[in-house]
Amino acid sequence: MSVSQQPQSVSWCVHGLQMAGLSWGEPGSEPVLALHGWLDNAASFSLLAPLLGGCQVVALDLTGHGRSAWRSDDAGYQIWDDLPEIVAIADALGWTSFNLLGHSRGAVIGTLLASAVPQRVRRLVLLDAVLPEPLAEGEFSRQLGRFLSDKRRFLQRRHRVFATVDAAVATRAQRGLGAPAAQLLVQRNLRECAGGFTWTTDPRLQGASAVKLTAGQAQTVLECVAAPTLLLHAREGHVSKHPEITAIAQRCIRQLSVEQVAGGHHFHMEDAVSAVARSVTAFLQEPAERGAL
């Protein structure tokens, strides 16, 4: 049974940042906090969330994306920088514990959160990502240098202006995303400006991270994930091209199930969305005593 197709717009002021999102389902039903991928937004879950019956799905526009605020010039976009805002929004929703559903960068952030506050996360669903590729310790200073160079460059960058919404959609579709999915994402990532439309996303999101996890730190993160976890990966997606990701996750996450679904990296917005919904729903409804493998 699906919930209403039409989401409710939601917003919060967290740590001085105005945050936005979309909500599907009835308050008081099974809580699912949804985290989108890099340069996407809450509309990433517009096709999947209505299919998750019995759930209240709250999808966030993470900082610098969609209709949420940009961080101040002195701040940055490390994957762990989002964690305090996510926890504060869960608190505002009255969710002492909740399920996490993340795609791509949002899946990585979800893994970090489940590791850091395991008492808050009931179940973890990862769509085509687990953690970023670890960085060798000897690369630390070089990585920091890339971050400094990119920050200077992207603070000065201005987004391209499109004459029409369709022109912006076309550029996103050219990067392998189907037109209907691109339309959903682009409409929430655009604002009107002189000459047409431009992106709402912060250009700094395209810059290098200051610090990346080492292999040892990544292993520790995965070993500290206590929640039953479902990794869904697309046949033509990122995880399928890097089988070592699945191998490490299976070795380190104690309660992990892995399933492959047809489609590309945005398979939760493609024809496979029904299959994704069935797997996620079955996983969330699984009795707790059956969560362990």
Active site residues: 104
DSSP string, the chain: ----SSPEEEEEEETTEEEEEEEES-TTSEEEEEE--TT--GGGGTTTGGG-TTEEEEEEE-TTSTTSPPPPTT----GGGGHHHHHHHHHHTT-SSEEEEEETHHHHHHHHHHHH-TTTEEEEEEES-SSPPP--GGGHHHHHHHHHHHHHHHHS----EESSHHHHHHHHHTTT--HHHHHHHHHHSEEEETTEEEE-S-GGGGSPPS----HHHHHHHHHT--S-EEEEEETTSHHHH-HHHHHHHHHH-SSEEEEEESS-TTGGGSTTHHHHHHHHHHHHHS-GGG---
Question: Is residue 128 within 8 Å of 238, Cβ to Cβ?
Answer: yes
DSSP assignments along 1-51, one per residue: ----SSPEEEEEEETTEEEEEEEES-TTSEEEEEE--TT--GGGGTTTGGG
